[in-house]
Amino acid sequence: MVNISVNLNGVQLQNPIIPASGTFGFGNEFRDFYDVNILGAISIKGTTKEPRYGNPQPRIAECSSGMINSVGLQNPGIDTVVNKEIPNLRKFYHQPIIANISGFSIDEYVECCNKVDALVDIIEVNVSCPNVHNGGMSFGTNPESAAMVTKAVKAVTTKPVFIKLTPNVTDIVSIAKACENAGADGLTLINTLLGMRIDIKRRKPIIANKMGGFSGPAIFPVAIRMVYQVAKACSIPIIGCGGVSNVDDVIEMMMAGATAVEVGTANLIEPMTCKTIIQQLPNRLLEIGFNNIQDIIGII
Ligand SMILES: Cc1cc2nc3c(=O)[nH]c(=O)nc-3n(C[C@H](O)[C@H](O)[C@H](O)COP(=O)(O)O)c2cc1C
């Protein structure tokens, strides 16, 4: 018998596999492929205070081993998520739910976290959004503003707060430590890398918004490096994310220091990815000499 359960600061997961926010909607679309109750948890689509229709089309550009997206946080807004999407998900899904919250001001983060608090198990705070009151700089690119968001949401939530970090920084460790010192219960990393593609015949950027977030297998080594660096410097649990597409990627991410692993773009390439990984995980661990997944966390 192989133990593949993990614990995220008090929240027990039957296995470490979590679909990443924005690649799994509110769980509904994937019910046609498999029983989503096999998942460790679900991180639902990033939610903002107001409904958002997203950025102009085209907003996806395929790349070798990845993709660029500029969806622009399209979502129905916190009130609809709280009143409709989460209750609907709870009807067929009985494992932990992770709310993914975005904001364009500290007040917006606070309002969303406060409203969602009673309905979910973990709150994941996406600090990649621009701070409209501070020249549009992303909250997550500076230790002080990342700490400010962390403190503010911690004051209005009772659930574990995981701050989701952007990789578009020079020193991710200083930002991770600032969040930990401000009271974060955990960290999720990484979000997408800023990227761009050009249509050489039209002589224009492929994405209407010119640039977008680069994700998929190509970013995996960057994610591993950042998870490793942050795990060495911080003592709160990490959800590793970025380019994971198979069972060995999950094991590698956990050896780098992650307690659980989010799978994003791989769901869009092959919707059965999470199920396949969960099925293969016990035997793969045995093959490499482990019968308890917790023994591999941060082993290197
Ligand atoms: C289409 C798309 C939409 C996304 N939407 C969100 C979002 O709403 N909130 C968020 O925190 N991250 C969002 N992300 C980022 C993913 O959750 C993940 O951090 C990133 O894609 C890296 O993982 P991957 O390489 O496995 O996709 C989105 C990614 C994609 C591809």
Q: Parse the chain into domains and list their residue ranges.
A: 6-57+71-195+214-296
Ligand 1 center to 22 CA (angstroms) = 5
Enumerate the active-site residues. 129
Assess whether pLDDT exceeds 90 at residue 284: yes
- The pLDDT-based confidence of 135 (bands split at 50, 70, 90) is confident
Contacts of 118 (CB under 8 A, 6+ apart): none
* Three-class SS state of 150: helix
Cross-strand bridge partners of residue 212:
195
Note the pLDDT of residue 248: 99
Nearest ligand 1 atom to alpha carbon 191: 19
Does ligand 1 lie within 6 Å of residue 150's CB atom?
Answer: no
- The pLDDT-based confidence of 133 (bands split at 50, 70, 90) is confident
Does ligand 1 lie within 6 Å of residue 192's CB atom?
Answer: yes
Ligand 1 center to 264 CA (angstroms) = 6
Q: 């950027």: which residue's tokens?
A: 205
Ligand 1 center to 191 CA (angstroms) = 6
Work out the mean pLDDT of the chain and round it to a whole number.
Answer: 97
Residues composing the chain:
300
Note the pLDDT of residue 134: 75
Does ligand 1 lie within 6 Å of residue 71's CB atom?
Answer: yes
Residue from 17, 23, 249 whose mutation best tests the ligand 1 pocket (most atoms within 8 A of CB): 23
Note the pLDDT of residue 299: 98
Ligand 1 center to 26 CA (angstroms) = 14
Note the pLDDT of residue 195: 96
CATH of domain 6-57+71-195+214-296: 3.20.20.70
d(CA 134, CA 145): 10
Assess whether pLDDT exceeds 90 at residue 238: yes
Task: Please state whether beta strands 11-13 and 6-8 pair in parallel, antiparallel, or not at all (unpaired).
Answer: antiparallel
Does ligand 1 lie within 6 Å of residue 140's CB atom?
Answer: no
Alpha helices (H) along 117-219: 143-154, 172-181
- Give the predicted TM-score (pTM) of the model: 0.98
> Two tokens at 54?
């997203």
Does ligand 1 lie within 6 Å of residue 222's CB atom?
Answer: no
Each residue's pLDDT tens digit, 91-116: 999 999 999 999 999 999 999 999 99
CA distances to 30, 75, 182, 203, 205 from 163, in Å: 26, 20, 11, 38, 31
- Of 140, 131, 136, 142, the closest CA to residue 165 belongs to 140
